[in-house]
Amino acid sequence: MSIIIFGGIGQLGQCINKVAKSQNIEGIIYLDEIEGNILDVELLENLFIKHKPSYVVNCAAYTAVDKAEDDVDLARKINKTGAANLADACVAHGSTLIHVSTDFVFEGNLPKALSEEDEATPIGMYGLTKLEGEQDIINKMSEFFILRTSWLYSEFANNFVKTMLRLGKERPELGIIVDQVGTPTYGVDLAACILHIITTQSKDYGLYNYSNEGAISWYDFAQAIFELGEVAVKVKPLKTSEYPTKAKRPAFSLMDKTKIKQVLGIEIPYWRDSLKVCMAALA
């Protein structure tokens, strides 16, 4: 079985590599943004002809949330057009697409766990372009898995956990947002979910939510990072209004994972348990 990971040297790609090695899964090709340029249709065609992938995993994305407000064209090219290009190639070559999306497709104004059936009404360009990518995939093909995730972190690349550990050692006090609620996702857990879909050759195609279990604010997340990392820093709770950003963020983007647990048989760890695993890996 041949598997291509687009965005393969990014955070999630490295997580997939880690899990694949631990499970002795072979036949995975990890492509960077040049080798696997999802905007180059001719390049994609040649890659599909050469590797004949059974599965394609799209980890490539424009994720700079604030920059996307001004850099709309590039964000849309990568998040929408790139996803559509992969969908076209997968249909033409009989490949299954696993596409990673985001909780930012939700407005985040409802105090409830959001299901796959809840209306997606993004409030920023990042979320909008990711939703457009989802829609193109759904309209173009039937054999796909779209996994919406949130607050991704791991021992790889740049992320909130590593940033907090660095800043916590540099500063005596940090202000962290307390009124945005969701769930962190340990990239290794998400990678294991993706590889479960592949190794079981699931035919239960569709849209799924995936994050770790539980609900916290960014403030709670930071406190746990400092506690587990034994970093002595004072954490001050900030309201979103006290820390204005170019792009609006969902205030409540907790996702309901009932579907993925019941349909795909996925067991999802509690966020703090996974954070402990990541912190041990970083140590």
What b-and-e string marks burial along 205-239, b requiring 16 or more CB atoms within 10 Å of the CB? bebbbbbbebebbbbbbbbbbbebbebebebebbe
Helix (H, G, I), strand (E, B) or coil at 180: coil
User: Could you give the CA distance from residue 161 to residue 224 in angstroms, rounded to a whole number?
Assistant: 10
With a CB cutoff of 8 Å and minimum separation 6, the contacts of 146 are 99, 101, 134, 137, 138, 206, 207, 208
User: Could you give the CA distance from residue 281 to residue 283 in angstroms, rounded to a whole number?
Assistant: 5
- Which is the catalytic residue, given 30, 62, 126, 208? 126
User: Could you give the CA distance from residue 48 to residue 44 in angstroms, rounded to a whole number?
Assistant: 6
DSSP bridge pairs for 96: 55
User: To which residue do tokens 């002795």 refer?
Assistant: 24
**Phi–psi pair at 182, nearest 5 degrees:** -170, -150
User: Could you give the CA distance from residue 12 to residue 105 in angstroms, rounded to a whole number?
Assistant: 19
Residue 157, sorted as left (phi over 0), alpha (psi -120 to 50) or beta, turns out to be: left
208 given a catalytic annotation: no
DSSP bridge pairs for 200: none
First to last CA, the chain: 35
Which positions are catalytic? 126
